[in-house]
Structure 1
Amino acid sequence: MMARMASSTTARRNATVLHMLVAMAVLFIPVILITQLFTRNPEPPVTAIDWQPVAQQAASESEYEVLAPASLPAGWIATRARFIPTGQPVFGGDPAVGDTFQLGFLSPEQRYVGLDQRDVAPEQLVATVTRNGRPDGTIEAQGRTWERMVSDDGRTRSLVSTREGAVTIVSGDLPYEALGAFATTLEPVG
């Protein structure tokens, strides 16, 4: 009789443990599936744009020499091209203080490099694009002296050149050498 009672007690314990494991699986499997479904962050596709017409418009309507890359290596993708004439609304609705030309590219390593130019209020554009960068020496590229600037957090580096009242800025979260290599591809848009 004792053997039967011990056997039924063991069977009840095993059944209880089994029921507990089944209940946990019923609860946790949907939670895990839902978590996996909603925590995936797929890379958004990069949309290449044709920047040449925007550069041509900027060159024909601006008083300054508009620069653009003439010979980027294979794998570079243009992702931004914008020309905002003086007085036209910019983000936030305020009018542009000067003719503003902007290009953006992704390198083959998926690193963003921006080119910004403006002929009026260059200090304001430099502060915005360089993220209030501080001077960090100079570099020579494409027959110009570029002032190197680095943001306070050390992440964003920029090359800044002023010529005939217009400022040109090459910026990105890249070493100065990479920005300098990009700057060597810049030529006047004809």
Structure 2
Amino acid sequence: MSSRPPAPQRSRGNPSMGDVVRSVAVLSLIVLGIWAFGLLQTETPEDPIGESVPYADTAASARDVATYPLLAPANLPTDWRVNGVRFTPTGSQAWHLGVLTDENRYIGLEQEKASARDLVDTYAEGAEEAGTLEIDGVVWQRFDGPDRSITLVQETPEVTTLVTTSTAPLEDVQTFVRRLATA
């Protein structure tokens, strides 16, 4: 009787190089499949910035509470959109309205019961006085920032209004200011 020696058993704790390569290949195919499925299920919007945020109702509600003449644009130029709006009724009664122009340039409106210097320091850090600017008979203090930003400020006994931009040209800022109204 001839007896053959038993076949050597492979150790489960020490895989061969072929096992490692096969495992990496299988895992790579799984990851690639998940990535491809996600790519097929993802829709990129044509306008990544999104639709305009409705602000008229917030402005109307804020005007009912604010103890100062709250400003908001009566209307905006075509293709401009509001990207943020908020009103904090307590404390300094802070009103904020953020707008993107048709070229996606940002203009921000801030109104608070605070000093002009406080608002400039908060919303236009590093801006220095650059004279005045008259828009439709209203005189605004102009501040220019180190990054070529433009900030216009008007201080009254009731409220300080600040319009600022770091990206929009002065013409767009003037267009925005001309459309501000109380209702």
The answer for the alignment partner of 1:163 in structure 2 is 156
Report the CA distance between 1:178 and its aligned residue: 2.2
The answer for the alignment partner of 1:144 in structure 2 is 138
1:117 corresponds to 2:117: no
1:61 paired residue among 25, 44, 65: 65
The answer for the alignment partner of 1:78 in structure 2 is 82
Do the aligned residues in 1 keep the contact of 2:67 with 2:158 (CA within 8 Å)? no
1:104 corresponds to 2:98: yes
Amino acid at match of 1:129: Y
In structure 2, what is the Cα distance between the partners aligned to 1:135 and 1:165? Answer: 22
Distance of aligned partners of 1:187 and 1:138 in 2 relative to their CA distance in 1, 3 Å threshold: same
Report the CA distance between 1:59 and its aligned residue: 1.0
CA deviation string 1:35-82 (max 9, x = no partner): xx9xxxx97342321111111122111111101111322111111000
TM-score normalized by structure 2? 0.69
The answer for the alignment partner of 1:21 in structure 2 is none
In structure 2, what is the Cα distance between the partners aligned to 1:55 and 1:143? Answer: 24
Q: CA RMSD in A?
A: 2.3
The answer for the alignment partner of 1:49 in structure 2 is 53
**Mapping of residues 33-48 of structure 1, within 5 Å:** 44-48=48-52
Do the aligned residues in 2 keep the contact of 1:59 with 1:65 (CA within 8 Å)? yes
Report the CA distance between 1:121 and its aligned residue: 4.4
* % identical aligned pairs: 33
Report the CA distance between 1:119 and its aligned residue: 1.4
Aligned-partner SS, 2:162: strand
Do the aligned residues in 1 keep the contact of 2:115 with 2:160 (CA within 8 Å)? no
The count of residues paired between Structure 1 and Structure 2 equals 141
Report the CA distance between 1:122 and its aligned residue: 4.3
CA deviation string 1:110-152 (max 9, x = no partner): 1111111001344322211112311112111143211111112
Do the aligned residues in 2 keep the contact of 1:105 with 1:112 (CA within 8 Å)? yes
The answer for the alignment partner of 1:126 in structure 2 is 120
**Mapping of residues 169-188 of structure 1, within 5 Å:** 169-172=162-165, 173-188=167-182
TM-score normalized by structure 1? 0.66
What are the ranges of 5 or more consecutive residues in structure 1 without an aligned counterpart?
1-36, 88-97
